[in-house]
Amino acid sequence: MWANATTKASKGVAAGRMGSLARLYLNGSVVKSTNAVYNGSGAQSIIASTPTNSTRGNYYAGGISYIYNPATGRYRTNSLLNSPAQTLSEVDVVRNENGEIYGSECDLLPCGIQPDLISAIGVDGTEGYVRDEDINYAPQTLEEALTYTSINREIPLYEEDGETVIGSFLVETPSETSVE
């Protein structure tokens, strides 16, 4: 199983003006995630794909779309979550002792809530949480965006307190990148 995320424009745009980040969820926890990948010059779309995962379970695909706003000099982000039809009755918003929201991004995003600590499965199979700002890091400049995608990043995996490190999670370079 893998996830794709696509960002499209109505016409070709200058290099670095749009990006995509793909994310694969297993049973509600992030199991694979890519760095954002940004378009080259004149592209109309950019697609990022996660590496595959073969563990049995319920999978969901998601990601983030990045659009550069020249007026502000910053990227606007849009969460992408593709999931089967669900009935949402009630979502528990849980906070740790530091007041941080932790839990499944799959459960909370449809309610408009971005958790501070996102449920994830580490490189060795350990279940824990990654910080939103670590996994969803967005470059601040066009130049940074164009060089940022070419590295794998290992980020800490925490217990629900957001302080105790119990492992690591690998944010990977997209295994497939398509620019059209």
Domain range enclosing 13: 4-179
CA–CA distance, 37 with 60 (Å, rounded to integer): 20
Give counts: helices (H), strands (E), the chain.
3, 14
Q: What does the pLDDT look like over 2-41, one tens digit per residue?
A: 898 999 999 989 988 999 999 999 999 999 999 988 887 7
Enter the tokens of residue 129: 């949480």
pLDDT score recorded for residue 7 = 92
Q: Is the pTM of this model over 0.75?
A: yes
Q: What is the Cα–Cα distance from 132 to 33, expressed in whole angstroms? A: 12
> What is the total count of domains within the chain?
1
pLDDT digits (tens, 9 = 90+) for 109-154: 888 899 999 999 999 999 999 999 999 887 777 778 777 666 788 9
What is the rounded CA–CA span in Å between residue 133 and residue 158? 13
